[in-house]
Structure 1
């Protein structure tokens, strides 16, 4: 009996030793997510701002003056980044570094904006300092996106637009504000991870104006934050904005 117990003890120790070796030898890689912007395939950077270079689906000629947006719950292979503000005009935040990702097929997803459970008023110090908050009368929390510019109106005059995406708020009755989560998840599918790499995530800005709702800036231009229906339209158009781009080895 003692001999059997001794043999079992040796077997268990050997098994645990192998398990520890396997854990130590698991290979991991580092991934950089790079957010880029384009207009139906034409790359856009801050150098393209403040110029009437773009025509939307409705035929409105526009210039971009500011574009910044939040992505949250960024996850690949179980490694997560809580949130990040991407500011195109100031070239800030366009890359997210994620370390310790095991090799193999990994799903990549993120949320545009903040889900309701994360969209808590005043909790993100960096967003507070950059005026990304939403007024309390509109439910508080944070913007999903601030997209500002100008367009040529029906008289060919320069007019402002403020395409600001937030949680939809119906303030018809100020004592009973109705809120609807209009953030959305972007699922970019499974990606085969074999080495350190940069994964491009593309935002086609033109899609905000055309699919499935053709956006007429002469009708929907400013004061869109308290416009519940406009926020629902933005949510619908945003579903086709992001796509997977190039994957390059680092």
Structure 2
């Protein structure tokens, strides 16, 4: 009988300890706050405010280029889970590579359930959002797209020089926005970017979005700056080529959480 009582006491003590242990396990968060950070490169060479105007790069066609200014806009960032549920973040993201404070983006409505996601967003503004003169901060940044070319706003301003290894370098203005078909006839030229790399969110997280500017000049259209340098804004074919090439510019980098 004593042996049975001792064994019973041991079992009860084991159960009690197990319950205490379980009570101390805190459940993981069910929601997470999300921020984004944007990094920039030219085929692996980091491009930022410190070397933007000094780095010499070579495009796919073979022209050596210098970069004076790069500014771009994306909007309607959203994370899509495995069930197809989309969580849309407010606002748009305007980045000026000369100002590193613009490399990060923390949406106002950034609380989403933990889980597995992919990221999608709009390059520039879609037709609903691309409203002429509607955004005061973009107006003050001289980001407007001319009314005679369809109005609204730029998606990209990329300026510099090419053939800089020769005695006669030339300027280029690689500007992207609404495509002008003919006088008074315009075509929306934004692109929907879908990044298929899975993003697992288990806690508050910062998602790095990487941008390779070299892709603007090579995929799928190899860009010859000797033919297409400036002006490109009223050039319908050039605008559509930019829209095609932007599809491979972005990728997912590190997820910090």
Q: Could you state the TM-score of these two structures normalised by the residue count of structure 2?
A: 0.81
1:62-211 equivalences in 2 (<5 Å): 62-76=65-79, 78-98=87-107, 99-152=110-163, 156-171=167-182, 174=183, 177-189=184-196, 190-211=198-219
C-alpha distance after superposition, 1:57-106 (max 9, x if no partner):
01110011111101100112514132121111122421111421111123
**Bigger radius of gyration among the two:** 2
SS at match of 1:93: helix
Contact 1:213/1:233 (<8 A) preserved: yes
Cα deviation per residue 1:32-73 (whole Å; 9 max; x = unaligned)?
111111111121111112225200001110011111101100
Within 2, Cα distance between the matches of 1:220 and 1:90? 28
1:218 paired to 2:226: yes
Q: Aligned equivalents of 1:153 and 1:47: distance in 2? A: 20
Query: SS of the counterpart of 2:92?
Result: strand
Provide the C-alpha distance between the structure 2 equivalents of 1:96 and 1:32, rounded to a whole number of angstroms: 6
Secondary structure in 1 aligned to 2:102?
coil
Match of 2:33 in 1: 30
The answer to whether the Cα contact below 8 Å between 2:64 and 2:163 also exists between their aligned partners in 1 is yes
On the 8 A contact 2:49/2:98 being kept in 1, the answer is yes
- Correspondent of 2:42 among 36, 39, 46: 39
Aligned-CA RMSD value: 1.8
Tell me the distance in 2 between the aligned counterparts of 1:82 and 1:97.
Answer: 10
Count residues in correspondence.
Answer: 221
**TM-score in terms of structure 1 length:** 0.83
> Does structure 2 retain, via aligned residues, the 8 Å contact 1:30–1:97?
no
User: 1 CA distance for matches of 2:29 and 2:214?
Assistant: 43
Return 5+ residue gaps in structure 1 as ranges. 1-24
Structure 2 gap segments, 5+ residues each: 1-27, 80-85
CA contact (8 A) 2:66 2:164 kept: no
Aligned twin of 1:13: none
1:248 aligns with 2:249: no
